[in-house]
């Protein structure tokens, strides 16, 4: 069975849960009527299923090939698919109209990206990286840089990358060594080696625009001396066309556990010509523009791979005949029942469904707030939008990728021995999904970002806003008696999260390691609370439809899945709270040499 794009799910969320049409009056949403958006998603789903999905296994098996002339060939079919992708205008979905984009809200981009990643994550990373480069130049570039690069990135003619990591310097960017020497003409010469550069070299586009972190000669040590540069593979000539080859080259590819179809490059800058983006020594904020874009993109990958793996597991569980239902044969004329009758198989499928459907909602909810943060004329709405986007970015990135990997693993488990063989697609989903927990800041780094920066930002305004919103929802008790379990479940999760927050506030001051020791469990607690809030809203929307006489079983399934979430996923919040409150001492007590 090919990939089934979850367009129906998106439509439910955008139309019936998030109420996208409420924002139709905003200029930024002018071209995003719900009907238009649904058409876009239908098209994107078709492209993902028909063009990208069939190449997923090809990409995994062939991988990318590096040649001694420093070129990299993508897997068979990727170039043609990319051309079709450009032809259809997908690269510019969220780009500004003045640079040739369609300027659709970010929430639409998230939905489209999910389908691309579910169908072919390694492929989707190529345009995904370009979007980060676009964002950095759009935020920090000069008008000239914008005019030169943004139309090419929006059209997909050129691709982008992020050149951050160096062999000795990953999370700790203060250790960065790549240097930039100013030239008389205002350009810089960039020298240094970068590693793990996704989509760092390939044959999909006429040019590749590297966004490179480097240290200008004489800059301060640490992260305060880092600047951001544009280093194009081919130097644009006077007409803006790719001209002379720049001395930036791919020295080789990493051999990896997954995402074989995406080129993970060692990139050498050997006095490469580059141009400063924004101000000297102010590269880090711009890097975070790219990084936050990328982190939401990785969160999307978590949901996407979970859905791909879940779909594969469902198909297998419906077809594989083995054993009989404990409540009597369900396929009496066959030699055995399909394994979907077995409670422990269903447990895994329901876990996946309950988490991924709410995870998808949580992503769209946050992305919509991000859009409002940029577009709402109501200052309070805009502020809350930006607050939520900042607060939830690390939560979504880490929580959804941790869960995505576990869902992919459960999907493999549903397959039994078949799942471990490469005859079935689930091994690739599991292997591909694993990187999402690591790149663009490991999930541990996300957790530190959450507890170390995001909670305290602006006096804790973002989290307080979230608590207030949830409290108001609970107090309103929407949906009456039938929704009570959802409202109570949400209230319980929020209470656990609030208790964990208060505990952190009381204890983290006296011991700086308390927050670090609690960070991952705190993040998961917030993720679960977010899902509980989404389930409450989805259940309310579904119940509303049913009460109004809607007979589509889709709505009943939503309620059933939501009730599973309450009964069998949400008990985890208490455990997370207990682990948070265990404090730093147990974690830090063992001397390093005694491990």
Closest CA to 67 of 207, 332, 309, 253: 253
Closer to its own copies at the Cβ: 274 or 562?
Answer: 562
Which one among 412, 455, 536, 542 touches its own copies, defined by CB under 8 A?
412
Which one among 52, 107, 199, 447 touches its own copies, defined by CB under 8 A?
447
Cα 152 to Cα 99: distance, rounded to the nearest angstrom: 8
Closer to its own copies at the Cβ: 175 or 502?
Answer: 175
Which one among 19, 220, 343, 480 touches its own copies, defined by CB under 8 A?
343
Residue 346 touching its own copies (CB under 8 A): yes
Closest CB 142 distance from its own copies, rounded Å = 32
Which one among 286, 448, 504, 525 touches its own copies, defined by CB under 8 A?
448
Among positions 417-446, residues that touch its own copies (CB under 8 A) are: 417, 419-423, 427, 430-431, 434-435, 437-439, 442-444
Look at the chain and count its residues: 595
Among positions 347-366, residues that touch its own copies (CB under 8 A) are: 347-350, 353
Closer to its own copies at the Cβ: 189 or 454?
Answer: 454
Closest CB 574 distance from its own copies, rounded Å = 6
Closer to its own copies at the Cβ: 20 or 317?
Answer: 317
Q: What is the 3-state secondary structure (H, E, C) of 427-473?
A: HHHHHHHHHHHCCCCCHHHHHHHHHHHHCCHHHHHHHHHHHHHHHHH
Residue 280 touching its own copies (CB under 8 A): no
Cα 372 to Cα 481: distance, rounded to the nearest angstrom: 32
Which one among 71, 142, 171, 482 touches its own copies, defined by CB under 8 A?
171
Q: Which range, of 77-85, 267-275, 279-287, 514-522, touches its own copies by CB under 8 A?
A: 514-522
* Cβ 2 vs Cβ 53: under 8 Å: yes
- CB neighbour list of residue 255: distance below 8 Å, 6 or more residues apart: none
Expressed in angstroms, the distance from the first to the final Cα of the chain is: 47
Closest CB 434 distance from its own copies, rounded Å = 7
Closest CB 71 distance from its own copies, rounded Å = 21
Each residue 361-400 as x (binds its own copies by CB under 8 A) or -, in order, gives ----------------------------------------
Among positions 564-593, residues that touch its own copies (CB under 8 A) are: 564, 567-568, 571-572, 574-575, 578-579, 582-584, 586-592
Closer to its own copies at the Cβ: 101 or 128?
Answer: 128
Closest CB 63 distance from its own copies, rounded Å = 12
For residue 242, how many other CB atoms are within 10 A of its CB?
19
- CB neighbour list of residue 262: distance below 8 Å, 6 or more residues apart: 59, 64, 121, 122, 123, 125, 126, 198, 199
Closer to its own copies at the Cβ: 189 or 353?
Answer: 353
- Cα–Cα distances in Å, from 300 out to 27, 67, 288, 407? 26, 32, 18, 14
Residues pairing with 189 in the sheet: 181, 273
* Cβ 58 vs Cβ 401: under 8 Å: no
254 labelled catalytic: no
Closest CA to 563 of 587, 592, 542: 542
- CB neighbour list of residue 515: distance below 8 Å, 6 or more residues apart: 448, 451, 452, 504, 508
Closest CB 554 distance from its own copies, rounded Å = 8
DSSP 3-state of 341? helix
Closer to its own copies at the Cβ: 308 or 345?
Answer: 345
Among positions 449-508, residues that touch its own copies (CB under 8 A) are: none
For residue 279, how many other CB atoms are within 10 A of its CB?
12
Q: Which of 319, 440, 488, 572 is catalytic?
A: 440
Closest CB 448 distance from its own copies, rounded Å = 7
Cα 62 to Cα 428: distance, rounded to the nearest angstrom: 13
Count residues near its own copies (CB under 8 A).
98
Closer to its own copies at the Cβ: 476 or 590?
Answer: 590
Q: Which range, of 8-16, 22-30, 42-50, 406-414, touches its own copies by CB under 8 A?
A: 406-414
User: Which residue intervals of 270-378 are DSSP H helices?
Assistant: 283-319, 343-375
Which one among 416, 505, 506, 550 touches its own copies, defined by CB under 8 A?
416
* Cβ 341 vs Cβ 319: under 8 Å: no
Residue 4 touching its own copies (CB under 8 A): no
Residue 254 touching its own copies (CB under 8 A): yes
Cα 358 to Cα 113: distance, rounded to the nearest angstrom: 17
Among positions 62-121, residues that touch its own copies (CB under 8 A) are: none
Closest CB 320 distance from its own copies, rounded Å = 9
Q: Which range, of 12-20, 87-95, 230-238, 312-320, touches its own copies by CB under 8 A?
A: 312-320
Among positions 322-341, residues that touch its own copies (CB under 8 A) are: 322-323, 326-327, 335-336, 338, 340-341
DSSP 3-state of 133? helix
Closest CB 129 distance from its own copies, rounded Å = 15
Residue 563 touching its own copies (CB under 8 A): yes
* Cβ 254 vs Cβ 264: under 8 Å: yes
Cα 313 to Cα 318: distance, rounded to the nearest angstrom: 9
Closest CB 519 distance from its own copies, rounded Å = 6
Q: Sort 344 into a burial class: Cβ within 10 Å, 0-12 / 13-18 / 19+.
A: exposed
Closer to its own copies at the Cβ: 26 or 164?
Answer: 164
Closer to its own copies at the Cβ: 202 or 579?
Answer: 579
Which one among 85, 196, 229, 388 touches its own copies, defined by CB under 8 A?
196
Among positions 12-51, residues that touch its own copies (CB under 8 A) are: none
Cα 20 to Cα 392: distance, rounded to the nearest angstrom: 20
- CB neighbour list of residue 562: distance below 8 Å, 6 or more residues apart: 354, 486, 535, 538, 539, 542
Which one among 190, 345, 355, 493 touches its own copies, defined by CB under 8 A?
345
Closest CB 581 distance from its own copies, rounded Å = 9
- State how beta strands 207-216 and 179-182 pair: parallel
Q: Give the catalytic positions in this structure.
A: 440
């Amino acid at each position: 069975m090919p990939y089934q794009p979850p367009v129906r799910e998106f439509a439910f969320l955008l139309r019936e849960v998030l109420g996208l049409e409420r924002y139709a009056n905003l200029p930024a949403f002018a071209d995003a009527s719900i009907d238009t958006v649904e058409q876009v998603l239908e098209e994107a789903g078709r492209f993902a299923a028909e063009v990208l999905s069939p190449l997923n296994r090809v990409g995994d098996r062939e991988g990318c090939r590096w040649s001694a002339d420093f070129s990299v060939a993508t897997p068979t079919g990727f170039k043609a698919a990319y051309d079709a992708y450009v032809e259809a205008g997908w690269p510019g979905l969220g780009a500004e109209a003045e640079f040739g984009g369609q300027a659709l809200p970010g929430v639409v981009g998230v939905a489209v990206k999910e389908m691309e990643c579910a169908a072919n994550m390694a492929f989707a990373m190529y345009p995904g990286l370009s979007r980060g480069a676009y964002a950095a130049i759009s935020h920090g570039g000069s008008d000239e840089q914008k005019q030169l690069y943004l139309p090419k990135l929006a059209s997909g003619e050129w691709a982008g990358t992020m050149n951050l990591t160096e062999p000795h310097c990953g999370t700790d960017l203060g250790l960065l060594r790549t240097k930039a020497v100013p030239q008389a003409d205002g350009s810089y010469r960039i020298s240094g080696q970068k590693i793990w550069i996704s989509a760092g070299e390939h044959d999909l586009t006429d040019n590749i625009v590297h966004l490179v972190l480097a240290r200008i000669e004489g800059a301060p040590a640490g992260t305060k001396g880092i600047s951001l540069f544009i280093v194009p593979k081919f130097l644009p000539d006077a007409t803006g066309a790719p001209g002379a080859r720049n001395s930036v080259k791919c020295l080789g590819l990493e051999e990896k556990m997954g995402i074989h179809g995406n080129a993970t490059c060692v990139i050498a800058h050997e006095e490469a010509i580059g141009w400063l983006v924004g101000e000297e020594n102010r590269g880090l904020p711009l890097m975070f523009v790219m990084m936050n874009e990328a982190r939401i993109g990785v969160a999307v990958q978590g949901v996407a791979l979970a859905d791909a793996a879940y779909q594969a597991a469902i198909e297998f569980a419906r077809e594989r005949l083995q054993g009989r239902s404990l409540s009597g044969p369900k396929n009496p004329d066959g030699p055995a029942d399909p394994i979907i009758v077995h409670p422990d198989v269903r447990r895994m499928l329901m876990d996946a469904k309950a988490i991924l459907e709410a995870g998808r909602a949580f992503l769209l909810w946050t992305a919509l707030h991000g859009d409002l943060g940029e577009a709402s004329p109501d200052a309070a709405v805009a502020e809350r939008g930006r607050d939520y986007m900042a607060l939830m970015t690390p939560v979504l990135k880490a929580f959804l990728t941790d869960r995505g990997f576990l869902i992919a693993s459960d999907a493999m488990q549903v397959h039994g021995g078949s799942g471990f063989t490469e005859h079935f697609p689930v091994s690739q989903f599991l292997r591909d999904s694993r990187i999402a927990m690591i790149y663009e800041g490991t999930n541990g780094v996300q957790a530190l970002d959450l507890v170390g920066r995001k909670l305290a930002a602006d006096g804790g305004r973002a989290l307080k806003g979230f608590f207030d919103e949830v409290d108001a929802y609970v107090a309103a008790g929407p949906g009456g008696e039938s929704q009570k379990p959802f409202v109570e479940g949400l209230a319980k999760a929020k209470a656990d999260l609030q208790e964990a927050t208060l505990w952190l506030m009381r204890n983290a001051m006296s011991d700086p390691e308390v927050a670090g020791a609690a960070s991952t469990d705190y993040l998961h607690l917030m993720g679960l609370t977010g899902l509980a809030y989404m389930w409450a809203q989805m259940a309310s929307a579904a119940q509303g439809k049913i009460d109004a006489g809607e007979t589509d079983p889709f709505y009943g399934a939503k309620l059933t899945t939501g009730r599973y979430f309450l009964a069998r996923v949400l008990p985890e919040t208490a455990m997370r709270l207990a682990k948070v409150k265990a404090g730093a001492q147990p974690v830090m007590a063992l001397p390093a040499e005694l491990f």
